[in-house]
Copies of this chain bind each other. A is one copy, B any other.
Amino acid sequence: MQHKSFRAMMCPIARTLDRVGEWWTMLIMRDAFAGFTRFEQFQLSLDIAPNMLTRRLQTLVKSGLLERRLYSNRPPRHEYVLTEKGRDLWPVLVTLAAYGNRHFAEHGVATRLVDRATGKPVEVVVADKGTGRILDQKGFKYSPGPKADAALKLRIRYADARQEGLSGRPEWEAFAKARKEKATRARTVS
């Protein structure tokens, strides 16, 4: 599947999507969280073409989310095991599943997250670990980090203006200008 690489983009969402932003990749990770490790297991679950599965597994190994491990010498056989970095993707899958159950389960819920001990279903929210506060767009916002460039800072100013109910027109103009200048510089360099 061809696409422009998001790797060079600064946005942390784009950077993650560059590695896992593809249907099959996310479903391979889902299966890995269910304890699947072998090629045949993923294939049975996903009903995917072998060459495509091979490529997706390679991508995940290269990105450090899965580790390819020899589990038999004769014949040589490998399995794909979650790394710590891979395990850390679990919250993303949990929010995706919760969203799917809320909005795309027209005919009922097939699977839902429950407390392992009590079996009680949970209602998934995102929260701040330190304070326990539930995160929402009203109380929280994206702010420039140390690596933010001028265009990104202006983009965030636009988002702030919009959130306050303003048109954000001057902020937009400034952002658009910076964005175009950045694109021109990128073309000049390459």
Contacts and interface: CB of A to CB of B under 8 A. Distances in A.
Interface of A: 1, 3-4, 6, 10-19, 21-24, 26-27, 30, 33-35, 41, 44-45, 47, 64, 85, 87-105, 107-117, 119, 121-149, 152, 155-156, 158-159, 161-163, 168, 172, 176, 179-180, 183
A21 B143 CA distance: 26
A148 B110 CA distance: 4
A156 to B, nearest CB: 7
Nearest to A186: B47
Contacts of A172: 41
Contact of A94 (B23, B126, B152): B126
Contacts of A139: 115-117
Contacts of A143: 111-114, 119, 121
A88 B99 contact: yes
A100 B51 CA distance: 28
Most B C-beta atoms less than 10 A away, residue of A16, A26, A179: A16
B128 A140 contact: no
